[in-house]
Structure 1
Amino acid sequence: MLLTTLVFSCKPKSFNEPQISLDNYQIEEGFELSVAASEPFIEAPVSMDFDNKGRMWVVEMKGFMRNLQGTGDDIPNGTISILEDLDHDGITDHSKVFIDSLILPRALAHVYGGLLYAEPPNLWFVDIKDDQPINKVLVDSLYSDGGNVEHQPNGLMVHIDNWIYNAKSNFRYQRKHGEWIKEPTSFRGQWGITKDNFGRLYVNTNSTQIMGDFVLPNTINKNVFYKPEAALNKTLTTNQRVYPLHATSVNRGYVEGVLDEDSLLINVTSACGPMIYRGDAFPENYLENAFVCAPEANIVKRNILSFENIVLSATQAIPEQEFIASTDEGFRPVNLFNGPDGNMYVVDMHRGIIQDKAFMTPYLQEQTAVKKLDTIIGMGRILKVTHKNNQQVSPIQNLDKLKSTELVDLLKRKNGWFRDRAQQLLVYRQDRTDEVVSALIELLQDTNNDITQIHALHTLNGLNVLDFELLESFVYSSKNILSLCHAIVLLEQFASVDRVASVIKLFQELESKDDAFIDLYILSSLGNWVSLAEEKLFPLGHNLSKKYKDEPIFQEAFINSLRDHEEAYASYMSTNKEPLSSVVFQNILETTLSNKKQNKKNFIYTKKGVSTDSRTEGYAVYRNFCATCHGLNGEGVENLAPPLMNSDYVSNSPEKLALVVLHGLRGPIHVNDKLYEFNMVMPGLANNPEFSDEDIQNIILYVTNAFSGNGAILDKEKIMQLRKQKPEKDGGYSEEELIQLQIN
C-alpha cells in the first residue's frame, strides 16, 4: 500500500492540453514548429514577454476587428494573461488573467520588478505581488494619444543602454530614483522593435521588411537644428519580395503589380514584428539573422544581415523560400521574440481580419466575406521554433532568487535573453557591494568576449558606479572595437574642464588605430567636451571630418557634436584660414545654421504625441454621424438611405460628393441604376459648427477609400469654395442638379 502511494505521488500531473494541427505549415529544413500556447488559454495575442521564471505573459487585443463592420473595438475586453506550463512539457496548460478590462492593449515589458504596459492613450506601470498588479502608476498619458490602432506606439523594449525604446514613437523611457523620465529619440518604425548584440535598433513598416540604424541610439541626433538621415531608419532590404503558398487576399490586390498572375502577393504589405535572433539554440550561422512577420501572406521571413564597416544590409536567406509559410489564412504572425530557452517564439494573432476598418477597401471586404475570414475569431497561438539538434525542454531557474554575483555570471551567457534580463535585474537591485562591482570590473578584462564587456559597462553605468578613470583605463587596455565604441559614448557624460586634456590625448590614441567604427563614435561624442573647450576640440573634430570628407554619416556625426557651437566652429575655421572638410559638411553646416536662424528644429524635439491620420479621423466622423443611415459597411439601410459601397456618387466626383456632404441631398435618386424613392432629406454639414473644413476633407478621404477603393483628397481651399456653392433650394441638391453641375 505504501509503495502504491509513493508511485502515484511521483507520477507527473496530467493536463488537458489542446491539440493543434500544423500539417499545413512549412518550415525551413532542420527546424520544427510546435504550439507552445493556444486557445482556450489565449485569444488574439499581439505581444508577449517572459518573466524571470520563464513564464509567458501575453497581451490579448480581443477587441480588434471582430467583424467586417469593426464594431466592438471600444469594448474593454482586452487582457494581459500569464501562461503556465505546470507539467514542464513545453506546452501551456494553464493561464490566469493578470489585468483585464483593457481597451485594445498593445505592448508590455517586465521592468523594475513590475510590469510596464500600454493601453491607449496611456502607458502604465504596476508592481507585481503574488501575480497580481499593485501600486498602479501613470507613466505617460500621451503615450499613444491619437493615431490609428495600426499606427500607435508599441514595442516597449529595454535596451542595453538601460532605456526603454518603442516602435512608432520618438520617445524613450527610464526610471531613476523612483521617477519616470521621458526624453526624445529618433522616430522609428511601425509595429515591433528589436536589437542586435552590439546595440543597434531595428524596425520596419508595412511595406519594408527591415529598417535599422547604423549607429547606437541617441548618438547622432542631439543637434536639435539638424535632422540626420544618413545613419538612421535606413532600409536594409532592397528587395521586398514574399513567397506565399497560396492566393493572397490583401487590401489593394486589384492594383496592378500587387499580385502576380496566380494571385500570389509579390511584395510585403504588412511587415511587422521584426526579431534579430540572439539565442543559443540555433546553428551558429543563424545568429543575428533578421526574422520578419508578414501576416497578410501567412509567412515569417528570414534575412541574413551583412555588416560592412558602418553600413548594414539584409538579404533573403534562401532564394524564393520563406522560413515559415502556411496555407492557413488564420495564421497571422505579428511579433517574434527570443526565448530564455534560446528558441524563437511566434505570436500568432490567428484572426481572419487584420486590416483596420479605417483603411479597408471594398475589394478586401468582399474577399474577406467570400472566404469567410471574418469567422476566424476567438483564437490565438504562440508557436515555438526549435532546431532539430537542440530540443531540450527544461524550466529555467527563477532569476529573482539568484544572488547578484550569480546574475553577473549570466552576463557571459551566449543567449542574449539571459544577458539582457540579468543586466536589468542588477540595475533594478542597485547592489553596489564591493563583491558585485569587482565582479563586473573583472568582466571588463575578458578580452575574448566584447559583448559581455558591453553589458558590464552599461550595468556599471546603471548602478552609478562607472567613472571617468575606469573608462579611461578600459579604453587604453581594451582591444575590442565594439566595446570601445560603447566606452567612448559613455565617456561623454563625465565631461569636465579638468579632464579635457586627458580625453584629447585618449582620443588621439584611439584615432591612431585608424578604425572607422572608433572614429565615428569619437566624432559623435565630442559634444559635451566641445562645450567646455571648443578651440581645443575643434582641430580633433576637423581632422576626423576631413578623413571621411565624402561620407555623410561622419559629417552628420560631427554636426551632432557641434551643437550650439556651429557659429564658433565656422569662425574658428575662418580665423585659421582653414577650409571646411568637404562640400558635404559645408551643406550640412549651412542647413543647420539656416534652421537655427528660423528656429526650425528636428521634429523629434517638438512632436509631443501621435498624429492621427486623415482616414482614421474620417472613419470616426463617419461612424458617429453617417453610419446610422448608410451602415458601417456603406451598404445602406432599407427604407432609410441608399448604399455608398461602389456608388457612382462616391467613385465619380469627389467634388460633387463634397457638395452632398456639405449641403445635403434630396430624393429620389438613382444609385448604380437603381431608383431610391426616399421621402427623407439627407441634411448637410455646412452649417454645423462642429465640422471644420478638415473634418469634411477627412470624411471624403475615408468614404472614397472605404467604398470605392480610391481615396480622394480635396484641399481645404477647394472645400471652402464648395461651401459657398449652394443648391437652388433649401434641403440639399437634387439628382438632376448634380448631373448638370459643372465643377471648376
Structure 2
Amino acid sequence: MKISLFFIYFLSLTVLAVSCNKTAKSVTEKNFTRVVLDTNPSIEPLSPEASIKKIQLPPGYHVELVVSEPMVQEPVAIAWDGNGRMYVAEMNTYMKDANATGEYEPTSRIKRLEDTDGDGKMDKSTIFIDSLILPRTILPIGDQLLVTVTNVQHIWSYRDTNGDGKADEKKIVFQNDVIDSRNLEHQNGGMIWNLDNWIYPTRDNLRYKYKNGKLIADTLVDNMIGQWGMTTDNYGRLFYSEAGPGLPAVQIQQNPKYGALNFADQYTAEFTQPWPIIGNVDAQGGREDLRAEDNTLKKYTSGCGQSIFRGDRLPADMQGDYFIPEPVGRIIKRGKVINRDGKILIEDAYKQKDWLASADMNFRPINTYTGPDGCFYIVDMYHGIIQESEWTKPGSYLGKVIQQKGLYKNRGMGRIYRVVHDDFKPDDKKPNMLNESSSQLVTYLDHPNGWWRDNAQLLLVIRNDQNVVTALKQIATGEKASLTKAPSPLARIHALWTLEGMDAIDKPTLFKAFTDKNAEVRKAAVWISEGFLKKNDSEVTEKLATLMNDPSSDVRIQLALTLRSHKTPRTSELVKTLLVNNPNNELMQFSFTTFTESQKMLAAERERTRNLSPADRALVTHGATIFKQLCATCHGPDGKGVKVAGNSQMPAPPLVGSPRVRGDKTLVIQLLLNGMKGPIDGKTYTDLMPAMGSNDDKWIASVLSYIRNSSELGNKASVVTSKEVAEVRANTPVMPGGMTQQELEIFKLGRAERTNWNKPR
C-alpha cells in the first residue's frame, strides 16, 4: 500500500519448531559476555584461521571454514543446486579504491564449488561463468542458473550441457531492455523462489512465475524497496531490509502481492543497535555513528543478507529466528520473531551484545543462509572498502579514512564459513535431487531442514510429473502416502503448494485443507484458493465464508487479503464483515486502510497525469518509477519521510509540501546534481543526500518533475525539462561531498544579484 502510513519496518516470522536430534540450552540465556577487543584495530589482513579466532559466539557455537581465497574472491552471494553444488557470485571489481576505478569492467565471475570428500570443505572449483559485470543474484532452477548483473535488467539462464562445470548455454528468460542507471547499491540484490511458487526480487514492483523455461512477470501493487539479500520463513513470509535508512527488517507483515505494509513498532529499538567488539572508524556517518567510549557502531548503517534459520543441525531455538549481518559493525544480529495476533514483531535475542561479532577489521559478512547440511552459512567478502564510491568521494569522511588507513589495499580475498554446534553433527548426506525420481523428491517435503523441502517442491513443480499427484494429494490431506509417518503440517503445506504449482490442486483437496487442525495449513489453503476466485468460483467463495470466525488471526487476515484481491459483491460483503468482526486486529485494519488509500492515490495520479501534455506526462511517469525505486528508501514512498524505531531522527527530510521542492527549479537541480549535507532548516538527518550528477539530464528532469508535480506527494508545480537541467549543469561547479543549505542559498542569491545587475536602470 502507499506510504502515507509507511513507518519503519519490523521483522517477523512465525516459528514452527522442528524437532532436532538433541535438545540444547536456549541460546537467549545470558551465558556469554561481549568483550570489546580493540577500539582502533589494525587493517592488516588475517589468514582465515587467524580471523576465526577473532570471532565471538555464544558457548557451544563454532565457525568452520568452508572455502577461502584463492578459490573464491570477493564473494557476495551463494546458492546450492539440487545436487548440493555451491554457486558463488564474485564481484571481483568492487571498490578497488575510493574512486571505484575499473568497477564496471567485465571481469567478475560465478564459480561452482564442490566438496568431493564430504569433509565440509570445498575442494573442487570451476569458473561456471566468466567475464561478468558485478553479478548480483543467482538462483538455481533444476539444471539452470538464473543470473542478474549490475546495470542490466535482463534475467539470464545459464546451463552446463556437457558436464565440464562450465556454462555453455546462455538464454534470456526475462527481457527488459531499459538500462538500470541506479547506483549499484540500489539495484536488485536478491532473488528467491518462495513457497507460493513465485520468484521475488528485493526491489521494484515485479515478481515472476517460471513457465517452460521463461519467466512471466506479474506487477505488484507497490515497489518493494529492499536492498541486499532477502529471506523467507517456513510459511512463505518474505523478509527484506534497507541499508540506506538503517532499517534491519522491512515489508514483513504481508506478501508484496497485497501491497507494502509496515508498522512503526515492527521491531524493538534494541534491535536497531549493533554491539561490535572493535572500533568502527569506517562508518559512513563518522563520529556521530559511534559510541564515544569505545568507537563501536551504535546504529545500523548497512544491514544486509538476512536469513531466517530453517535448518535442523543447530539448537532448536534458532529455528525461525532472524539473522542479519552488519558488515560495517562486523557483527551478525539475531532477532526472535514473534507473532502477536497476526502481526509480526522482532525482538533482540540478547541484551547489549550480538550473536556473532568479529574483531577482524576486514571481516565483512554480507549474506547468510541455511545450508543443505542443516547448518548456518556466512558469506564474508573480506574486503577493505564496503561502501560504494558515491559515498567515498575525495574530501568525504569515508574518503579520508580509506586513504589514511589504506583500506583500498585489502581486496582479492573472501571466505565462506559455516557455524556448527558442539551438540550437533552436520548432515553428511550429499543431495542428489537432480538425478532422483519424482517419487523420492516427494518424501523430502517432510524433511526437517527447510532447504530440502524448498528444493524438492521447486524441482517437482518444474518437472510437472503428474504421476506423483495422487501421493501429493494424500500428503496434503494428512495421509502417509509415500512417507514413513503421518505428514507434518509443513509437509502438508508443501504438498498443497506443489499441487498448486503443478496446476493439479482440486477443490476436494483444498476444502479438506480448510478444515485442517493446523492454522498454517488452513492459511495456505486460503491463499491457494485465489486461483479459483479468479474464475469466479462461487462454491469456493462460500467455503471460504465458513472460515470467517476461524480461531486463528493469521487465517482471518489471509482471508481478508484473499477476498479483497478478487472483488465481487459477495467477496466485498465478506471483507466488510471481517473488518466489523475484528475491530482490534491492527494488521487487518491497517492493511485495508492502506489498500483503499493506495487505490485512491493511484486514481488521483491517473487523473492528474491525464491533464498533462504527452511530453510532461512521460517525464512524470518516468520520474515516478525512479522515485519509487530509489528515493522512497530514505524519503518514504509517500514523501513523508521514514521513521526509525527508537530514533527521533529521519534518514532524510519529508518532501510533501516542501517549499524548496516546489520553488526554485535551479536550486533543486543543483541539489540533485551535487547532493546535500549538513542540517536542513535547523534539523539534522541521519543520511547524506548523495550526488546524482552521474545520471543524465533526462533522469534528473524526470525525478524532479515527479516530485514537483505529484498528487501522491501533495505537490503541484511545473515540470523540469532536460534542457533546464543541462543549462544548470553547465553553470554549476562540482562540489565533492555535497552542498550545504547555506551554499544552495548563496548560489540562489548570486543568481538574483546577476539578474538585478542586468536589469535596465
TM-score tier (shorter): 0.7 to 0.9
1:582-621 alignment runs, 5 A limit: 607=625
Name the CA shift for 1:609/1:341 in 2 (closer, same or farther; >3 Å).
farther
Q: Secondary structure at the match of 1:115?
A: strand
CA-based RMSD of the aligned residues comes to 3.9
Report percent identity of matched pairs. Answer: 27
Name the TM-score, length of structure 1 as normaliser.
Answer: 0.74
User: Match for residue 665 of structure 1?
Assistant: none
Question: What's the offset of the Cα at 1:504?
Answer: 4.4
Name the CA shift for 1:354/1:702 in 2 (closer, same or farther; >3 Å).
farther
Structure 1 unaligned residues grouped into runs of 5+: 1-17, 222-227, 562-584, 615-653, 663-684, 730-744
Residue 190 (structure 2) aligned to one of 131, 135, 155: 155
User: Match for residue 216 of structure 2?
Assistant: 181
Matched-pair contact (CA < 8 Å) for 1:523–1:541: yes
Residue 507 (structure 1) aligned to one of 544, 553, 557: 544
User: Match for residue 254 of structure 2?
Assistant: 215
Letter in 1 for 2:319: L
User: Match for residue 201 of structure 1?
Assistant: 238
Name the CA shift for 1:717/1:492 in 2 (closer, same or farther; >3 Å).
farther
Name the TM-score, length of structure 2 as normaliser.
Answer: 0.72
State which drifts further: 52-61 or 117-126: 117-126
Question: What's the offset of the Cα at 1:180?
Answer: 2.1
Letter in 1 for 2:526: I
Question: What's the offset of the Cα at 1:704?
Answer: 4.0
User: Match for residue 305 of structure 2?
Assistant: 273
Q: Secondary structure at the match of 1:59?
A: strand
Are residues 1:553 and 2:587 paired?
Answer: yes
Letter in 2 for 1:86: T
Residue 65 (structure 1) aligned to one of 89, 92, 95: 95
Letter in 2 for 1:152: Q
Matched-pair contact (CA < 8 Å) for 1:279–1:417: yes
Name the CA shift for 1:168/1:513 in 2 (closer, same or farther; >3 Å).
closer
User: Match for residue 568 of structure 1?
Assistant: none
For 1:498 and 1:381, locate their aligned partners in 2 and report how far apart those are by CA, in whole Å: 53
Letter in 2 for 1:468: K
State which drifts further: 312-321 or 45-54: 312-321
User: Match for residue 466 of structure 1?
Assistant: 505
User: Match for residue 414 of structure 1?
Assistant: 448
Question: What's the offset of the Cα at 1:558?
Answer: 4.9
Question: What's the offset of the Cα at 1:439?
Answer: 1.3
Residue 33 (structure 1) aligned to one of 63, 75, 80: 63
User: Match for residue 424 of structure 1?
Assistant: 458
1:51-130 alignment runs, 5 A limit: 51-120=81-150, 121=152, 122-129=154-161, 130=163
Name the CA shift for 1:543/1:717 in 2 (closer, same or farther; >3 Å).
farther
1:629-648 alignment runs, 5 A limit: none
1:35-84 CA distance string (max 9 Å, x none): 10100101000001012221211000011101122101021110000112
For 2:372 and 2:302, locate their aligned partners in 1 and report how far apart those are by CA, in whole Å: 28
Q: Secondary structure at the match of 2:286?
A: coil
Question: What's the offset of the Cα at 1:188?
Answer: 3.6
Q: Secondary structure at the match of 1:378?
A: coil
Matched-pair contact (CA < 8 Å) for 1:195–1:275: yes
1:452-476 CA distance string (max 9 Å, x none): 222111100111111234312331x
1:234-253 alignment runs, 5 A limit: 235-239=266-270, 240-253=272-285
User: Match for residue 321 of structure 2?
Assistant: 289
User: Match for residue 735 of structure 1?
Assistant: none
Question: What's the offset of the Cα at 1:499?
Answer: 3.6
Count, aligned residues: 607
User: Match for residue 647 of structure 2?
Assistant: none
Question: What's the offset of the Cα at 1:23?
Answer: 1.7
1:234-291 CA distance string (max 9 Å, x none): 8434331111111112344435354433222111111110010000011111111111
For 1:609 and 1:269, locate their aligned partners in 2 and report how far apart those are by CA, in whole Å: 21
Q: Secondary structure at the match of 1:49?
A: strand
Letter in 1 for 2:143: G
For 2:65 and 2:427, locate their aligned partners in 1 and report how far apart those are by CA, in whole Å: 14
Which of 1 and 2 has higher RCO (CA within 8 Å, sep 6+)?
A: 2
For 1:517 and 1:598, locate their aligned partners in 2 and report how far apart those are by CA, in whole Å: 38
User: Match for residue 383 of structure 1?
Assistant: 417
1:188-226 CA distance string (max 9 Å, x none): 4111100111111111112122224212341x23xxxxx
Name the CA shift for 1:409/1:393 in 2 (closer, same or farther; >3 Å).
closer
Letter in 2 for 1:363: Y
Question: What's the offset of the Cα at 1:479?
Answer: 1.6
User: Match for residue 558 of structure 2?
Assistant: 521
Are residues 1:46 and 2:83 paired?
Answer: no
Question: What's the offset of the Cα at 1:405?
Answer: 1.0
For 1:432 and 1:329, locate their aligned partners in 2 and report how far apart those are by CA, in whole Å: 54
Q: Secondary structure at the match of 1:470?
A: helix
Structure 2 unaligned residues grouped into runs of 5+: 1-46, 479-485, 611-616, 633-665, 675-695, 702-720
Matched-pair contact (CA < 8 Å) for 1:46–1:59: yes
For 2:469 and 2:506, locate their aligned partners in 1 and report how far apart those are by CA, in whole Å: 12
User: Match for residue 485 of structure 1?
Assistant: 523
Q: Secondary structure at the match of 1:526?
A: helix
For 1:703 and 1:261, locate their aligned partners in 2 and report how far apart those are by CA, in whole Å: 37
For 1:104 and 1:720, locate their aligned partners in 2 and report how far apart those are by CA, in whole Å: 43
Letter in 1 for 2:110: I
